[in-house]
Amino acid sequence: MRQLQALLILNADKRLTLSDLCEKLRLAPSTGTELANRLIDKGFVEKADESADRRKHILTLTSKGAGLLRKRQEALAERFTGLLEGFESEDREAFVKSFDTIWRILSKYHRKRESTRD
């Protein structure tokens, strides 16, 4: 699950230092390093030294990692489509609206948290 979370974060942010990824996942640096190394070994993430500080690595998602995320999103969409097919029209609409509400609330608090970091 952590690997998928890391891929989703890298997909959204495009480029992150290892310490930034650890912070977003709330991981200790040693745990984050192990996670990043596993993703690199699987070919889902690339690591580059792009600063004067050789200890600071930039992580990016590879095309293989992006492809895995696409496949996961497609599988999830298929599951939801199958689930919703059995719903009556009114219930389907209520179900989708509830996710919109959840997303709006989560976004509101995510923005608040991000603004307090700066």
In tens, the pLDDT along 48-103 reads 876 666 567 899 999 999 999 999 999 988 998 888 888 999 998 998 899 889 98
Q: How many CA atoms lie within 13 A of 115 on its CB side?
A: 6
Task: Tell me the pLDDT band of 112, cut-offs 50, 70 and 90.
Answer: low
If you ran DSSP here, which 8-state letter would residue 42 be given? T
Q: How far is CA 44 from CA 6, 10, 25, 68, 82, in A?
A: 10, 10, 17, 8, 29
Rounded Cα distance between 103 and 15, Å, is: 24
- % of the chain exceeding 90 in pLDDT: 42
Q: Please say if the pLDDT value at position 115 is more than 80.
A: no
Task: Tell me the pLDDT band of 111, cut-offs 50, 70 and 90.
Answer: low
Rounded Cα distance between 111 and 118, Å, is: 11
pLDDT at 108: 81
Helix runs in the chain, H state only: 2-13, 18-25, 29-41, 63-85, 89-117
pLDDT at 46: 94
Q: Three-state DSSP class for 68?
A: helix
